[in-house]
Amino acid sequence: MTQTVSRPAAGARKQPLPLDVEAIRADFPILSRTVRDGKRLVYLDSGATSQKPRSVLDAERDFYENHNAAPHRGAHQLAEEATGLYEAARARIAEFIGAAVEEVVFTRNTTDAINTVAYALSNAATAKEPSFRRYAVGQGDEIVVTQMEHHANLVPWQQLCERTGATLRWLGLTDDGRLDLTDLDTVVNERTKLVAVTQQSNILGTINPLEAIVARAHAVGALVLVDGAQSVPHQPVDVAALGADFLVFSGHKMLGPTGVGVLWGRYEVLDALPPFLTGGSMIEVVRMEGSTFMPPPQRFEAGVPMTAQVVGLGAAVEYLQALGMENVQAHEEALTAYALEQLQAIPGVTVIGPPDTVARGGAISFTVDGIHPHDVGQVLDDHGVAVRVGHHCAWPVVRRYGVPATTRATFYVHTGYDDVDALVEGVRAAQRFFGVTPEEATA
Ligand code: PMP
């Protein structure tokens, strides 16, 4: 069993926070409710799904109340307005990540976006259209992932390999929760067709050195897919600077509605891929003998889309832009430094992941000696503190660190030091409740 070593973060304390937490909390209706017999809701589970500000809820309601129609169809005014709102949201989201508008494909979520790419790559081999075969994956090819991927960025690649006869390879992890790049040049080689890697780990908090991975992948002619589910909501992400071929993320983790996500792809690459889902909206010409398909992004948006959710995501991006993503990142960094310091000062608490704030985001997973993570979560819940417990859909990670599960706290724009203090107090309360005093915990 290998376990990460806890050591206190240096000199963290309470730095001034860049965001006005009280003002932001007032924008989130759910944060004014209480839980567990009148306790303030301390929501530390934004990594699973974020809460929504009023402007996002209003945008969705306004769409349904005043503009509801199927976009890209119909000759009437409502259809025109719905199309305008849908495409305006696409333009805003494209601007947010520094992309061209036609490179932004709306999906249901990150999982859907990754499956869209995985199925496009396996469908490519048998595509009738020769231009769709360029990135085909087949026998003898290799797909590379890492050991810290969320199941959403692992299982679709395992399945792709089963469908095509390709081989899955992966980069391992170091003891302190970082990617082990020692074997990068052998794992990513001339047989590699695609490297799929997360920018920020949902369980360890690690921010990965994508530059080196992208450079190596492109040097051998492989595509790179970046899972931005935990990075796009929390730090500035610019696709040009990233240099990857795909970036995927979920609206619901970035203050937006559920049911909408984004697949960004470099246009040249998207244009060379066959569709995954087929049907209405994505076709050019349909005859009984066969059909031709629209260019991206429509080729990958079959059926009537999740229009209100897209509009809501546009409003979420507007909210984040008004705060400034640099401020969002700095805010979470300050909270993370403080939380790491406070948690690691509790005897018996072990952080699973980087113990300091170097290249690290605000997902903090930890174990408490002598108490199962589910029990820690239960006591925290009794105190009004909402955290996630379990393997966090990244089972190989908990296995790598020899723990059955972890308790995970994640931060966002409405998180303040009082939330972190409530978490720390809750952990101490769990130790008291289970009779695991700090002294016993270290014994
Ligand atoms: N990747 C990462 C890193 C995640 O944290 C998550 C969500 N927990 C996903 C992918 C999947 O996102 P979704 O469930 O929204 O598709």
Give the distance (Å) from ligand 1 centre to CA of residue 435.
Answer: 36
On the question of pLDDT at 3 being above 80, the answer is no
On whether the 21-52+325-437 domain is CATH 3.40.50.300, my answer is: no
Residue 437 pLDDT greater than 80, yes or no: no
Is the CB of 198 within 6 Å of ligand 1?
yes
| Span 256-294, pLDDT tens digits | 999 999 999 999 999 999 999 999 999 999 999 999 999
Give the pLDDT band of residue 1 (cuts 50, 70, 90).
Answer: very low
Mean local confidence (pLDDT), 414-442 = 89
Better-scored residue on pLDDT, 12 or 15: 15
User: What does the mean pLDDT of the chain come to?
Assistant: 95
What does the domain layout of the chain look like in residue ranges? Answer: 21-52+325-437, 57-321
- Express as a percent the part of the chain with pLDDT over 90: 93
- Please give the model's pTM, rounded to 2 decimal places: 0.96
pLDDT band for 443, please (50, 70, 90 cuts). very low
Same CATH topology for 21-52+325-437 and 57-321: the answer is: no
Residue type for position 71: P
Distance 312 CA to ligand 1 centre (A): 19
pLDDT in tens, 89-126: 999 999 999 999 999 999 999 999 999 999 999 999 99
Question: Between 438 and 276, whose confidence is greater?
Answer: 276
What is the CA(404)–ligand 1 centre distance, in A? 20
- Mutation test of ligand 1: which of 45, 50, 111, 234 has the most ligand atoms closer than 8 Å to its C-beta? 111
Atom of ligand 1 nearest to the CA of 261: 15
Give the pLDDT confidence score for residue 12 in this predicted structure: 64
Check pocket membership of 116 for ligand 1, CB cut-off 6 A: no
> Tens digits of per-residue pLDDT, 46-105?
999 999 999 999 999 999 999 999 999 889 999 999 999 999 999 999 999 999 999 999
Ligand 1: distance of its center to the CA of 155 in Å?
12
- CB 250 near ligand 1, within 6 Å: yes
Residue 161 annotated in active site: no
Q: Indicate which atom in ligand 1 lies nearest the CA of residue 198.
A: 3
The yes-or-no verdict on residue 209 having pLDDT over 70 is yes
**Ligand 1 contacts CB of residue 99 (under 6 A):** no
**How far is the C-alpha of 229 from the C-alpha of 35, rounded, in Å?**
28
| 215-258 per-position pLDDT tens digit | 999 999 999 999 999 999 999 999 999 999 999 999 999 999 99
Class level of CATH domain 57-321: alpha beta
**CA of 417 relative to ligand 1 center, distance in Å:** 26
Does ligand 1 have an atom closer than 6 angstroms to the CB of 239? no
**Quick one: pLDDT band at residue 439, thresholds 50, 70, 90?**
low
Ligand 1 proximity of 273 Cβ (cutoff 6 Å): no
Which pLDDT score is estimated for 13?
85
Instruction: Choose the catalytic residue: 85, 161, 224, 393.
Output: 393
